[in-house]
């Protein structure tokens, strides 16, 4: 009981995510396969309702999407269509306060830096107090954050000679490196 109270105080902004496939430090092989499929759908079908999942089919990646993204305010319908929103609406800010704070903190880490931010730095920020995310969730929310900022920030990667190169848009190669 005391340990739980201390953890609650230290990780006071940890969002509640009820999905045992991804809410772990090391997701299983089958969970990773579902996460990878979902991340590719996030990349390719961001503008589609439910990322294009058929309504009568429920693969593991759809369960992850429903429990971790759409129900938490990360993917929703706006006046422009379905998207990973750059601005969260008032309802999502109120009903998903901790998720909104997680998103805000990710935006702040990226926008307030005087230098390039690596995905590992973002993950370390989110895994530390007050959030305490697991690495499985960092991958999903990292990509959702990057999708929401896609027109606001520039993306870079290292080429085969270890030089930084500009990435004009998020693609499958980039997404596969978000582990």
Question: Strand pairing partners for 81?
Answer: 78
Q: How does residue 119 score in pLDDT terms, banded at 50, 70 and 90?
A: very high
**Span 29-47, mean pLDDT?**
95
Spatial distance between the Cα atoms of 17 and 67, rounded to a whole number of angstroms: 7
Q: How does residue 35 score in pLDDT terms, banded at 50, 70 and 90?
A: very high
- DSSP one-letter code for 166: E
pLDDT score, position 178 = 83
Question: Which tens digit of pLDDT belongs to each residue from 62-90?
Answer: 999 999 999 999 999 988 899 999 999 88
- Residues near 36 by beta carbon (within 8 Å), at least 6 away in sequence: 176
């Amino acid at each position: 009981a005391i340990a739980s109270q201390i953890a609650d105080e230290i990780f006071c902004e940890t969002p509640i995510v009820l999905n045992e496939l991804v809410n772990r430090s090391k997701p299983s092989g089958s969970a990773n396969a579902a996460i990878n499929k979902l991340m590719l759908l996030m990349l390719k079908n961001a503008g589609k309702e439910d990322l294009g999942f058929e309504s009568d089919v429920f693969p593991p990646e759809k369960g992850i999407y429903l429990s971790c993204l759409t129900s938490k305010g990360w993917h929703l319908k706006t006046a422009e269509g379905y998207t990973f929103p750059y601005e969260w609406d008032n309802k999502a800010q109120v009903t998903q306060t901790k998720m909104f704070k997680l998103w805000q903190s990710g935006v702040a880490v990226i926008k307030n830096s005087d230098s390039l931010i690596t995905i590992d730095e973002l993950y370390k920020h989110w895994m530390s107090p007050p959030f305490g995310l697991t690495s499985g969730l960092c991958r999903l929310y990292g990509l959702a954050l990057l999708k929401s900022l896609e027109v606001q920030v520039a993306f870079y990667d290292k080429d085969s000679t270890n030089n930084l190169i500009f990435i004009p848009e998020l693609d499958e190669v980039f997404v596969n490196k978000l582990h």
